[in-house]
């Protein structure tokens, strides 16, 4: 019933549900001990293997920074040039699978049993999934990506004398010299990276975890989703490897986002207050914000992440409305509709996994993005699963897939559209010429109350940083505690600190290139995990009450 829970704090199914009969008990492979005043409850070997490998990696990057930087600079293009088709094809399949679930008879299956009710209101639920899933990225790329794609599309294609591969970064066939066409293509390319595809990736992981935890009675950990495929073997090394891959993907995906957040916060502070830019300031920022994240960790899910997510959503909404009203309002509104139509028009070509001539764009932007979203998927998926009990599969997929996609389109249309309008209509090229992390603040600088809005932008970056770090430590801790959702708080503190440390080491060992290289390399094997998840979801839904 509603007040019943499993032995580890996970609510038991309400009403009719297909419980999987397994002899495995949550935490049976765990090591429970006391280290000084702190109790620990860690899964053996998931915690030990993942922790030791990551520590070894950190020491390598610190001890041999030049070799590490060389390796990172080689790794990203090596993976994207060889496996771009795989990332593209998998992401396309994830979107199609989600659309199938919406219209299928299994859409009426309720997560948590056919009598379960939602734990959170729509507003609280949406705020948490949005803040966790896109926060820092939207702040970093909200202006910089539309502007970058517009500029490269307007510049046209470039081929070396004598022929060969294109050297430009424009999407598809570009739009040389045609401003209107370049705007449409640039916005379509941006929305492609922030629309249906990333949210389909998140939805699949979240749905798999919610289904097999709340309906099947299995632990809240990635391996549980593979019971229909591997059976009892998921409790052995087959499952250990799946969970270890999830830890790697989550940690490095988060570290990349934290690195982006630190560089943007540093750029904003420099623009407003003259704070020096560089590695030292970024290390201080990551350390300070990680300390704030620790406070949120100690306050728990409802007192920490939920509150901060709602604050973030409120501030983001106010900033969005401000730019919409004081910026080129009519151009933004018409641009929103035009961007949606352009996205639909260019979607087949942008999704095409083979025979691409725009390899710099498709490999340097899209393949990286798909790997980044996939590496974030264990973190975002598990977090969404934890707060989505009581939703039907159809309601869940529609809300996770379609609504955030529309919000992302609106965000990019308002912020990116305003910056592009400043170039096209006003001749202001400050945002166009600035570095990626500074473009947002250059755009805001041309609007009224620039000091206030830029400060709000910095606050948003910081709070998104905190919610990502807190949520990520919660998820990694759950995986490395064997699915226990009430593991000792010091373990979450450990992972929160560790995330910040890895972000610092990667920044020092190769900058954003190092962060992006690790996302690509961890996202690749986890793509296979997600493909298998689709089949597991389909198998799992067959036996559920509708």
Statement: residue 128 has pLDDT above 80: no
Tell me the pLDDT of the chain averaged across its residues.
88
Residue 40 pLDDT class (50, 70, 90 cuts) = confident
What percent of the chain is predicted at pLDDT more than 90?
50
Which residues are within 8 A (CB) of 265 and not within 5 positions of it... i.e. 6 or more apart?
285, 289, 458, 461, 462, 465
- If you average pLDDT over residues 208-225, what whole number do you get? 92
Lookup: tokens for 400: 């996770």
Instruction: Using alpha carbons, select from 145, 76, 439, 417 the residue that is nearest to residue 263.
Output: 439
- DSSP conformation letters of 197-253: HHHHHHHHHHHHHHIIIIIT---SSGGGGGHHHHGGGGGTHHHHHHHHHHHHHHHHH
pLDDT of 2: 40
| Helix, strand, coil fractions of the chain, as percent rounded to 5 | 75, 5, 20
Query: Using CA atoms, how far apart are residues 115 and 297, in angstroms rounded to an integer?
Result: 32
Statement: residue 345 has pLDDT above 80: yes
Comparing 56 with 321, the larger pLDDT belongs to: 321
**Residues comprising the chain, all counted:** 546
Q: State the CB neighbour count (10 A cutoff) for residue 143.
A: 29
What percent of the chain is predicted at pLDDT more than 70?
95
Report the C-alpha dihedral over residues 512, 304, 375, 267, rounded to 10 degrees. Answer: -20
Q: Which of 163-177, 194-208, 375-389, 437-451 has the lowest mean pLDDT?
A: 375-389
Query: Using CA atoms, how far apart are residues 470 and 499, in angstroms rounded to an integer?
Result: 10
pLDDT of 205: 96
Statement: residue 38 has pLDDT above 60: yes
Query: Using CA atoms, how far apart are residues 344 and 44, in angstroms rounded to an integer?
Result: 48
Would the CA dihedral through 154, 155, 161, 167 be positive or negative? negative
Query: Using CA atoms, how far apart are residues 316 and 319, in angstroms rounded to an integer?
Result: 5
Query: What's the pLDDT tens digit per position in 51-100?
Result: 899 888 888 888 888 888 888 888 888 998 999 999 999 999 999 999 99
Lookup: tokens for 364: 């340097």
Statement: residue 34 has pLDDT above 80: no
- DSSP conformation letters of 48-98: HHHHHHHHHHHHHHHH-HHHHHHHHHHHHHHHHHHHHHHHHHHHHHHHHHH
pLDDT of 146: 96
pLDDT of 186: 96
Which residues are within 8 A (CB) of 545 and not within 5 positions of it... i.e. 6 or more apart?
15, 16, 17, 18, 109, 113, 114
- If you average pLDDT over residues 237-241, what whole number do you get? 94
Residue 130 pLDDT class (50, 70, 90 cuts) = low
Distances (CA, A) of 543 to 19, 163, 214, 538: 10, 57, 14, 10
Instruction: Using alpha carbons, select from 120, 407, 378, 393 the residue that is nearest to residue 250.
Output: 378
Statement: residue 542 has pLDDT above 50: yes
Query: What's the pLDDT tens digit per position in 245-280?
Result: 999 988 888 888 888 888 888 999 999 999 999 889
Residue 132 pLDDT class (50, 70, 90 cuts) = low
Residue 302 pLDDT class (50, 70, 90 cuts) = low
Comparing 516 with 396, the larger pLDDT belongs to: 396
């Amino acid at each position: 019933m509603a007040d019943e829970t499993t032995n580890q704090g996970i609510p038991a199914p309400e009403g009719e549900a297909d419980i999987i009969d397994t002899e495995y008990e949550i935490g049976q492979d765990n090591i429970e001990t006391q280290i000084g005043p702190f109790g620990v409850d860690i899964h053996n070997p998931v915690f030990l293997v993942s922790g030791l490998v990551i520590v070894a990696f950190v020491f390598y990057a610190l001890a041999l920074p030049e070799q590490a930087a060389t390796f990172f600079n080689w790794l990203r293009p090596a993976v994207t040039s060889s496996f771009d088709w795989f990332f593209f094809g998998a992401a396309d399949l994830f979107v199609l699978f989600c659309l199938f679930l919406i219209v299928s008879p299994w859409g009426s299956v309720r997560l948590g049993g056919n009598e379960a009710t939602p734990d959170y209101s729509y507003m609280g639920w949406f705020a948490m999934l949005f803040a966790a899933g896109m926060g820092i990225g939207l702040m970093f790329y909200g202006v910089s990506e539309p502007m970058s794609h517009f500029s490269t599309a307007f510049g046209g294609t470039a081929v070396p004398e004598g022929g060969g591969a294109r050297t430009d970064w424009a999407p598809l066939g570009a739009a040389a010299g045609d401003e209107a066409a370049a705007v449409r293509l640039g916005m379509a390319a941006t929305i492609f990276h922030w629309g249906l595809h990333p949210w389909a990736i998140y939805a699949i992981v979240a749905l798999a975890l919610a289904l097999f935890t709340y309906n099947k009675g299995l632990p809240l950990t990635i391996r549980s989703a593979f019971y229909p495929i591997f059976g009892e073997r998921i409790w052995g090394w087959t499952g250990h490897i799946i969970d270890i891959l999830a830890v790697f993907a989550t940690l490095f995906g988060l570290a990349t986002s934290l690195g982006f957040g630190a560089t943007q916060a540093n750029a904003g502070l420099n623009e407003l207050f003259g704070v020096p830019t560089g590695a030292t300031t970024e290390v201080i920022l990551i350390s300070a914000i990680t300390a704030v994240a620790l406070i949120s960790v100690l306050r728990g899910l409802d007192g920490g992440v939920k509150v901060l997510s709602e604050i973030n959503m409120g501030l983001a909404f106010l900033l969005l409305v401000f730019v919409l009203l004081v910026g080129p309002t009519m151009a933004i509104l018409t641009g929103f509709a035009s961007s949606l139509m352009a996205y639909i028009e260019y979607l087949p070509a942008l999704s095409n996994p083979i025979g691409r001539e725009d390899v710099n764009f498709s490999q340097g932007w899209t393949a990286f993005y798909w790997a980044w979203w996939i590496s974030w998927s264990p973190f975002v998926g598990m977090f969404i699963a934890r707060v989505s009990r009581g939703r039907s599969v159809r309601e869940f997929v529609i809300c996770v897939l379609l609504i955030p996609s529309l919000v992302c389109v609106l965000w990019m249309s308002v912020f990116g559209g305003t910056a592009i309008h400043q170039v096209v209509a006003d001749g202001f090229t400050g945002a166009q010429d600035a570095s990626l992390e500074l473009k947002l603040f250059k755009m805001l600088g041309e609007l009224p109350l620039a000091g206030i809005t830029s400060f709000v932008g910095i606050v948003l970056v910081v709070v998104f940083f905190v919610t990502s770090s807190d949520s990520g430590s919660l998820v990694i801790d759950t995986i490395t505690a064997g699915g226990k959702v009430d593991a000792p708080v010091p373990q979450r503190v450990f992972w929160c600190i560790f995330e910040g440390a890895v972000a610092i080491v990667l920044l020092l060992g190769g900058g954003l290139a190092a962060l992006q290289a690790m996302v690509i390399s961890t996202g690749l094997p986890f793509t296979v995990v997600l493909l298998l998840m689709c089949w597991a979801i389909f198998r799992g839904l067959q036996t559920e009450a509708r």
